């Protein structure tokens, strides 16, 4: 079941993340590693830009799923990139958010906990719809569970274009038609 985040919890987690980032900058500056501190600042700026792009997609449930993913108890770390934000408001946000939640659950049940597991999500506008690219790297214990999940997850307006599960890697390309 997805956690419902209240304003105080969101602010507490966001403040914690900012404090960690500021401590990294401060620590590198105290070690006279100015170039590394600048790199961290650039990473923060790029991350903030991606957060803004994601938040402006007119997909509040999907955006919330990605923005809060790393604050929940998943066995993977999530990164995302929004390439282009045209026509996203014409997607079924509920369907996309539900599918993403089920993918996260399938991953958590199929991968080795507490390992170096990463999921990268790329969102890109395409002709007549939007493409979502999910790229996982880490330790997959149960390929059959993931393959079973993927075999049963096509719906109205949502198509799995390609998928691949091999040792340590999972790639999924999903296309959603605009409404």
88: tokens are 């996203």
Give the pairing of strands 77-82 and 118-126.
parallel
Mean pLDDT by 10 residues, the chain (179 residues): 77 93 96 97 95 91 94 95 73 90 95 95 86 95 91 78 90 86
* Sheet of strand 129-137, all strands in order from the earlier edge strand to the far edge: 77-82, 118-126, 129-137, 169-177, 158-166
Where b means 16+ CB within 10 Å and e means fewer, 138-176 reads: bebeeeebbeebbeebeeeebebeebebeeeebebbbbb
Residue 137 DSSP SS3: strand
> According to CATH, what is the number of the domain 59-177?
3.30.565.30
Q: Residue ranges of the domains in the chain?
A: 1-55, 59-177
Give the global pTM.
0.88
The predicted pLDDT at position 39 comes to 97
> According to CATH, what is the number of the domain 1-55?
1.10.287.130
Cα(32)–Cα(115) distance, integer angstroms: 32
């Amino acid at each position: 079941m997805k956690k419902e985040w209240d304003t105080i919890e969101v602010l507490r987690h966001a403040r914690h993340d900012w404090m960690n980032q500021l401590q990294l900058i401060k620590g590198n500056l105290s070690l006279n590693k100015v170039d590394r501190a600048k790199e961290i600042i650039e990473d923060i700026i790029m991350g903030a830009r991606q957060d803004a792009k994601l938040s402006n997609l007119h997909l509040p449930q999907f955006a919330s799923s990605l923005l809060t993913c790393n604050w929940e108890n998943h066995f993977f770390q999530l990164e995302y990139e929004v390439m282009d934000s045209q026509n996203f408001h014409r997607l079924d946000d509920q369907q996309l958010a539900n599918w993403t939640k089920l993918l996260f659950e399938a991953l958590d049940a199929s991968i080795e906990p507490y390992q170096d597991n990463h999921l990268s999500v790329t969102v890109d506008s395409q002709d007549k719809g939007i493409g979502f690219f999910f790229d996982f790297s880490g330790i997959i214990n149960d390929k059959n569970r993931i393959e079973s999940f993927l075999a049963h997850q096509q719906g109205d307006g949502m198509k799995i274009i390609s998928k691949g599960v091999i040792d340590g890697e999972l790639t999924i390309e999903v296309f959603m038609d605009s409404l």
